[in-house]
Chain A
Amino acid sequence: MLNRTIQPPVNPIEHIDIVQAEKRLLSNGIPVHFVNAGTQDVVKIDFIFEAGTWFQPINLVASLCNSMLEEGSEKYTAAEIGEKFDFYGAYIQLIADQNQGFVNVISLGKYLPAILEVTENLLKHSVFPDHELEVLIAKNKQKFLLENEKVRTLCQKKFTQVMFGDAHPYAINNKLEDFDKVSREELIRFYKSFYHSGNCHIIVAGMVDESVLNLLDKHFGGNDWQQSPIKVPEYAICSDPEKRHWVEKANGVQSAVRVGKFWVPKTHPDYHALSVLVTILGGYFGSRLMANIREEKGYTYGIGSFILTLKQASYLVISTELGNKNVEPALTEVAFEMRRLQTEPVSENELETVKSYLLGEFLRDFDGPFALAGSFKAINDFGLDYSFYDNYLHVLRTITSEELMKLAQQFLNPEDCYTVVAGSKLV
């Protein structure tokens, strides 16, 4: 007779197969890390430049410069570049974050020769045409105005500003008038200084064979796009002494909330154990914050806690959106849940649950070529190697409730946290 009240036996995850990235150098010294995996004839190539907002002389330069790369090169107009990618069903994705500028290309392997030919031209010989720049700026202005209507945007901006100080590159402080201050010359200067072979590394994932590596060397291995090495500027963090902040957004029915504090870097000995702690707090569906604030009280559609690790700083942030009248009760519960982790050991049952969940997540993080490449990047950016993941697995299998409680006492004090609310004040 089938007994539906008992869970079928759960088997521990013992064997985890990690395909590690291999390394090659192009003839000019550009490091190429590649993950050969997958069954589909698809290749994803990420060209990564140290060209994020950290390096920009004024606001918007890093992202506009990056976006302009597909807007015209010596050989191809913007329309022709679009035409090539579309015709071969390939994608180019341009992103600039705080530290890096990315040119990511996804293509069927069979069309890679054609796609890399265009990519080479736009990377090495971008021309920044006036007309396209004007269109891009107008578009981004409208997007900016739209984003500024969202409480979550207003809240995140303010949160990074109070954490880092307005002048720090990790603070998001773009203003509408910044769009009028950016010149074409400024973008070209940034492009020349930061998008070159000496400031580039490449990560490739998918069906990567010798022919793919040879193609990369053919198009990007030459000495024709070298510039002098860049100097990394330094910025000091200048946090606001005030812990509680408010951004007014009239006539909203919901407010956005961020609660957070600075965190340890990936190289810290407690980093992994703290990741487990933050998962218990708000890192999965069964977390304390979700169980209490969504599943028990129904205050919000979702609440979570995350660790953001950037090259020069890390922080913990708890984020949610919820009805204006739920803000204060929810904040009380957030503090309550942090305190509870400091004063009550996590039960064996809960700890087992979170460990198993994280092991499952770990399997997912190494499943398939793109996930494998992502997991490699997550260590490579910080100068770490795969032993980082071995250590993580070790911590995951051995961590105890007592250790977690000690860490909570050290790292999860509610009074250390910045709190930012964006929304309409209750009347």
Chain B
Amino acid sequence: MIHFERTKLANGLTVIVHQDKTTPMVAMDVCYNVGSRDEHPDRTGFAHLFEHLMFGGSKHIPSYDEPLQKAGGDNNAFTSNDLTNYYLTLPKNNIETGFWLESDRMLELAFSKTSLDVQRNVVIEEFKQRYLNQPYGDVWPLLRQLAFKVHPYQWPTIGREISHIENATMQQVKDFFFAHYAPDNAVLVVSGNVDFDEVLTLADRWFGPIPNRNVKPRNIPQEPVQTEIREQTVIRDVPNDTIYFAWHMVDRLDPLYFATDLISDVLSNGNSSRMYVNLVQKEKLFSELDAYLSGDYEPGLFVVSGKPSNGVSLETARKAIERELDRMKQDLVPEYELEKVKNKLEASIVYGEMNYLTKAMNLATNEILKDAELINSQVDSYRSVTTKLIQEVSRQLFRPENCSVLNYIAKK
């Protein structure tokens, strides 16, 4: 259970405070409700490129990192399809430096040409390092493209292609900033060794004067229901064949989300999970086998990926996975097995509550999703899932016409 207090400034900025006096530190998380789903199809990768530019100086402060380091701080950021999250930690008596830095870049960036030129290159190198120069590096982009035909989830956060990043202009950068970076489109979370009143005073002082920007609600085209199985085969210079299945699943706020998440745990979380015990250990058909959710806020993907053992054909591998999924549809999961994955989830939630920064990030991302309070109700939501519901959701999920298959073949 995480206790927090929440308020909203006049300009629309939500402020959340969680006190944890066991640490000498403070974490500050500023989460913007903008991700790669908000990009134009011809200008993908923009939200992420923008994250880099947020470190290139703001209206009144030429360098973000140096003053933070002077105050003993550390920071980082990430971009997802759904949001962009900036976080820093500081010794508690230097917390005001965090307010100063984060409020100035919410107010306005420096929009420096040099920074744009350099960060374009840095991001292109990141594109190469993570996607082009890694074995299996293009799997996610391929799967997303196969599963989504309309929704912007079809491209990865790094962007659809390098040229989109190369061609980014300063005008586009400015437009993006004023369209999405605003107090009324962000959440500020402060956790650690702080008091609510202290945070509120500082938030008023530094963030209060930033104008509300009347950010328009997003209007994203929804993905039409898939009506037949999709399949793609690619040949790549990798050591092993791999098969990927992706099924459309419910969104994060759907009550069925929790059952969906537990299905992936029953299948592959831990050495006693079904697919691991049956297909990796007993039958030795796979060397790696995983089931996981894409983690998107809007309806995302339930993915199963498997690397067949040496000498096992992709066809055999595919049948084996389908057999396990059929079992999920035909038979009720035993109570004990469901209890096990629920225990495991509950324990992992406790482990996550050990760290003040993790707590700040969870509060912020849940508030962007809908409500920070969700982190305290999730255990009950998972606990209330029944074996019957697991079966119903499996039947809904694992239909051929809901599925995209990617055969990733090793070049001989």
Interface residues of A (CB under 8 A from B): 2, 4-5, 7-11, 13, 16-17, 37-42, 70, 78-79, 81-83, 85-90, 106, 108, 132, 134-135, 138-139, 141-143, 145-146, 148-151, 251-254, 284-286, 294-301, 321-323, 326, 352-354, 356-357, 359-361, 363-364, 367-370
Q: A90-B347, A135-B281, A353-B70 are in contact. Are A17 and B24 (CB under 8 A)?
A: yes
Q: Which of B72, B74, B238 counts the most chain A CB atoms within 10 A? A: B72
Q: How far is the CB of A53 from chain B (nearest CB, A)?
A: 23
User: Are B134 and A42 in contact (CB-based, < 8 A)?
Assistant: no
User: Are A146 and B71 in contact (CB-based, < 8 A)?
Assistant: no
User: Are B287 and A357 in contact (CB-based, < 8 A)?
Assistant: no
Closest B residue to A38 by beta carbon equals: B354
Closest B residue to A301 by beta carbon equals: B126
Q: How far is the CB of B334 from chain A (nearest CB, A)?
A: 12
Q: How far is the CB of A291 from chain B (nearest CB, A)?
A: 9
User: Are B118 and A298 in contact (CB-based, < 8 A)?
Assistant: yes
User: Are B125 and A323 in contact (CB-based, < 8 A)?
Assistant: yes
| Cβ contact of A367, chosen from B24, B119, B269, B272, cutoff 8 A | B24
User: Are A361 and B74 in contact (CB-based, < 8 A)?
Assistant: yes
Q: How far is the CB of A423 from chain B (nearest CB, A)?
A: 9
Q: Indicate if B174 sits at the interface (CB-CB under 8 A).
A: no
Task: Supply 20 further A-B pairs (C-beta < 8 A) apart from A143-B287, A298-B125.
Answer: A5-B61, A7-B100, A13-B91, A38-B354, A41-B350, A82-B272, A132-B281, A146-B238, A149-B237, A150-B135, A251-B237, A285-B69, A285-B75, A294-B122, A301-B123, A353-B69, A360-B90, A363-B25, A367-B25, A370-B354
Q: Indicate if B206 sits at the interface (CB-CB under 8 A).
A: yes
Q: A145-B239, A146-B239, A364-B74 are in contact. Are A298 and B272 (CB under 8 A)?
A: no
9 contacts between A and B (CB under 8 A): A38-B22, A40-B353, A87-B340, A88-B343, A142-B307, A284-B69, A301-B123, A361-B72, A367-B23
Q: Which residues of A contact B104 (CB under 8 A)?
A: 4
User: Are B355 and A368 in contact (CB-based, < 8 A)?
Assistant: yes
User: Are A42 and B288 in contact (CB-based, < 8 A)?
Assistant: no
Indicate with 1 or 0, residue by residue over B36-79, a CB within 8 angstroms of chain A CB atoms. Answer: 00000000000000000000000111000111011111110000
How far is B73's CA from A42's CA once the two chains are assembled, in angstroms?
Answer: 28
User: Are A252 and B277 in contact (CB-based, < 8 A)?
Assistant: no
Q: Which residues of A contact B219 (CB under 8 A)?
A: none
Q: Which residues of A contact B61 (CB under 8 A)?
A: 4-5
Q: Indicate if B327 sits at the interface (CB-CB under 8 A).
A: no
How far is B179's CA from A246's CA once the two chains are assembled, in angstroms?
Answer: 48
Q: Which residues of A contact B350 (CB under 8 A)?
A: 40-42, 108
User: Are A13 and B133 in contact (CB-based, < 8 A)?
Assistant: no
| Cβ contact of B69, chosen from A13, A79, A295, A356, cutoff 8 A | A356
Q: Indicate if B222 sits at the interface (CB-CB under 8 A).
A: no
Q: Indicate if B129 sits at the interface (CB-CB under 8 A).
A: yes
Q: Which of B104, B118, B119, B353 counts the most chain A CB atoms within 10 A? A: B118
Q: How far is the CB of B251 from chain A (nearest CB, A)?
A: 27
How far is B89's CA from A134's CA once the two chains are assembled, in angstroms?
Answer: 46
Q: Which residues of A contact B135 (CB under 8 A)?
A: 146, 149-150
Q: Which residues of B contact A150 (CB under 8 A)?
A: 134-135
Q: How far is the CB of A257 from chain B (nearest CB, A)?
A: 12
A-contacting residues, B278-302, CB 8 Å: 280-281, 284, 287-288
Q: A142-B287, A364-B25 are in contact. Are A85 and B271 (CB under 8 A)?
A: yes
Q: A10-B94, A142-B307 are in contact. Are A321 and B271 (CB under 8 A)?
A: no
Q: How far is the CB of B340 from chain A (nearest CB, A)?
A: 5
A-contacting residues, B87-140, CB 8 Å: 89-91, 93-94, 96-97, 99-100, 103-104, 107, 117-123, 125-126, 128-129, 132-135
How far is B20's CA from A263's CA once the two chains are assembled, in angstroms?
Answer: 40
Q: Indicate if B273 sits at the interface (CB-CB under 8 A).
A: yes
Q: Which residues of A contact B344 (CB under 8 A)?
A: 86-87, 89
Q: Which residues of B contact A86 (CB under 8 A)?
A: 269-273, 340-341, 343-344
Q: Indicate if B240 sits at the interface (CB-CB under 8 A).
A: yes
User: Are B133 and A356 in contact (CB-based, < 8 A)?
Assistant: no
| Cβ contact of A368, chosen from B23, B132, B238, B341, cutoff 8 A | B23
How far is B206's CA from A369's CA once the two chains are assembled, in angstroms?
Answer: 34
Q: Which residues of B contact A294 (CB under 8 A)?
A: 118, 122
| Cβ contact of B72, chosen from A70, A326, A359, cutoff 8 A | A359
Indicate with 1 or 0, residue by residue over B219-240, a CB within 8 angstroms of chain A CB atoms. Answer: 0000000000000000001111
Q: Indicate if B80 sits at the interface (CB-CB under 8 A).
A: no
Q: Which residues of A contact B353 (CB under 8 A)?
A: 40
User: Are B347 and A10 in contact (CB-based, < 8 A)?
Assistant: no
Closest B residue to A90 by beta carbon equals: B347
How far is B22's CA from A370's CA once the two chains are assembled, in angstroms?
Answer: 13
Q: Which residues of B contact A370 (CB under 8 A)?
A: 354
Q: Which 4 A-B pairs have the closest CB atoms?
A: A89-B347, A360-B72, A298-B121, A82-B271
Q: Which residues of B contact A300 (CB under 8 A)?
A: 122, 125
Closest B residue to A354 by beta carbon equals: B69
User: Are B94 and A299 in contact (CB-based, < 8 A)?
Assistant: no
User: Are B128 and A39 in contact (CB-based, < 8 A)?
Assistant: no
How far is B129's CA from A322's CA once the two chains are assembled, in angstroms?
Answer: 7
| Cβ contact of A8, chosen from B96, B288, B339, B345, cutoff 8 A | B96
Q: Which residues of A contact B74 (CB under 8 A)?
A: 357, 360-361, 364
Q: Which residues of B contact A88 (CB under 8 A)?
A: 343, 347
User: Are A353 and B343 in contact (CB-based, < 8 A)?
Assistant: no
User: Are B122 and A301 in contact (CB-based, < 8 A)?
Assistant: yes
Q: A253-B133, A353-B70 are in contact. Are A82 and B270 (CB under 8 A)?
A: yes
How far is B134's CA from A168's CA once the two chains are assembled, in angstroms?
Answer: 29
Q: Indicate if B209 sits at the interface (CB-CB under 8 A).
A: yes
Q: A4-B100, A252-B133 are in contact. Are A42 and B270 (CB under 8 A)?
A: no
